[in-house]
A and B are shown apart, each in its own frame.
Chain A
């Protein structure tokens, strides 16, 4: 009896916390189906500089209203974003052009390097890995000037490559996969060697298949992170037509609130689908990267 009560209490605590956690997602999606009039009725007071609540009479008319269920379900915002504003689709495409090469390149290069760090012996391994970790920890601003100087030197400023290259060589993937590969028992490698497999066969036929979850996790995390990038394109891409959707979204928030809800719902869709489809890989992948035997 006591045990059951405890179970109920824990479930209630977890449920309340979970609702808070997914609230922004629910709000964005539900508000994207409201009409423009409803949105402006609910949020028009936001962004004005002075407080409207000087009359302390308990009236809430002057404050934004939180509504999760639209009066009438409308797809007007989506129509506006997808059909009438061609800019939106262009920016969406820009995001794809930047993000896909980054994650693809990162996957190949990180898994190779991680293999060397996890399973091969060479001089200065620990020191080199230490440097990788340090660079991984640096916030974007620290590597900003170096990245900018290199881009400038290679004539890459205002070119997608100025963002794609540093993204590909980001060391986070190496860190994540190294942790993951360390868990694969050496006996597998020994067994493959006994069967006459060369190092490349071991890498492609033994290690990579076993790291499926870790690679998927890296892919999903990298996708999310780069899909949301704001600072890099603002600095490296002066041409507004080249900016990804993340930058565009961060700019439309002020004026066109309704559109922003619809646009960020669409924007979220690829990531959300990837997350729902690959959730188990993601969780398995990051779980195994956290344990060292």
Chain B
């Protein structure tokens, strides 16, 4: 019986991988490459090959450009903010002796609150006739239509942070727990102050964790679209019109060429970002060890 199982390592690996790879190929990889075809023809049915024409059109399309800029802006602001705030929170909890576990639980709770509740609460607070404007007018100020001004961007960032800080914090907490106390002790003997200890020990040894948090933060920054969409619909204020809005709308109008070429542009960006990240991570890892 045992002999049957003694296949060589390579084949065995493929056995374990097979279900995942087959499904992954059928439902993602192959159709995704097939999408490339749509981005190169003039029409989805009996279209002519037009080369990169769809891509040129895309770059000239103002709503696409706006969507790219908004998406980039959102990620550049919200991802670092999420990392900094969750790290601060992790450091605070780490230093705090009271109710550590209770706080940890409370901060991670937003993960389980359904999108529908988020939207309900959001409207109650930030509607033109919402609670916040009630408060503002009672202070003698004019009400603001939050979701229809530049404030909308801040609003989406807040939803994102609220939902994701807890998760990132838990990751950072475990990273902190794994730094040996002796490092700090010997640094103290060498006369390093707390800032030096933070930059030379905490920051350095948290790098692998930070890398993971970064990836998770990016994934989740795309997911906040769900909330945004439910709060403000197909055509929100122009400051929060994201690539996902653009693609959704192109899908709705059956414009597959625009949609697939936009998808490929986005894919290229993501590949670049991840690639750069890997290079940086590898360099830092080499420095640490």
Q: Do A and B bind each other?
A: yes
Main secondary structure of the interface of A (DSSP, over half): helix
Residue-wise, chain B 93-126 has the 8 Å CB interface mask toward A (1 for contact) of 1011111000111111111111111111101110
Taking CB atoms, residues of chain A closer than 8 Å to B198 are: none
Given the complex of chains A and B, what is the CA–CA distance between A50 and B108 in angstroms? Answer: 37
CB of A230 within 8 A of CB of B115, answer yes
A243 at the interface (CB under 8 A from B): no
CB of A137 within 8 A of CB of B121, answer no
A250 at the interface (CB under 8 A from B): yes
CB of A292 within 8 A of CB of B208, answer yes
CB of B23 within 8 A of CB of A109, answer yes
Residue pairs across A and B with CB atoms within 8 Å: the count is 326
The 8 Å CB contact of A150, one of B27, B142, B145, is B27
Which of A14, A49, A56, A289 has the largest number of chain B CB atoms within 10 A? A14
Question: Closest CB-CB distance, A80 to chain B, in whole Å?
Answer: 16
A116 at the interface (CB under 8 A from B): yes
CB of B16 within 8 A of CB of A203, answer yes
B61 at the interface (CB under 8 A from A): no
The 8 Å CB contact of B170, one of A20, A27, A47, A287, is A287
B184 at the interface (CB under 8 A from A): no
Closest residue of chain B to A63, judged by CB?
B134
Given the complex of chains A and B, what is the CA–CA distance between A147 and B260 in angstroms? Answer: 12
Given the complex of chains A and B, what is the CA–CA distance between A189 and B254 in angstroms? Answer: 52
Given the complex of chains A and B, what is the CA–CA distance between A14 and B102 in angstroms? Answer: 11
Taking CB atoms, residues of chain B closer than 8 Å to A10 are: 92, 95-96
Taking CB atoms, residues of chain B closer than 8 Å to A288 are: 174
CB of B27 within 8 A of CB of A264, answer no
Given contacts A10-B92, A25-B109, A144-B263, 5 further A-B contacts (CB under 8 A): A20-B162, A145-B251, A150-B31, A282-B108, A290-B209
Q: What are the 10 A-B residue pairs with the smallest beta carbon separation, nearest first?
A: A63-B134, A146-B31, A287-B174, A198-B5, A169-B23, A113-B20, A139-B222, A249-B116, A141-B247, A122-B13
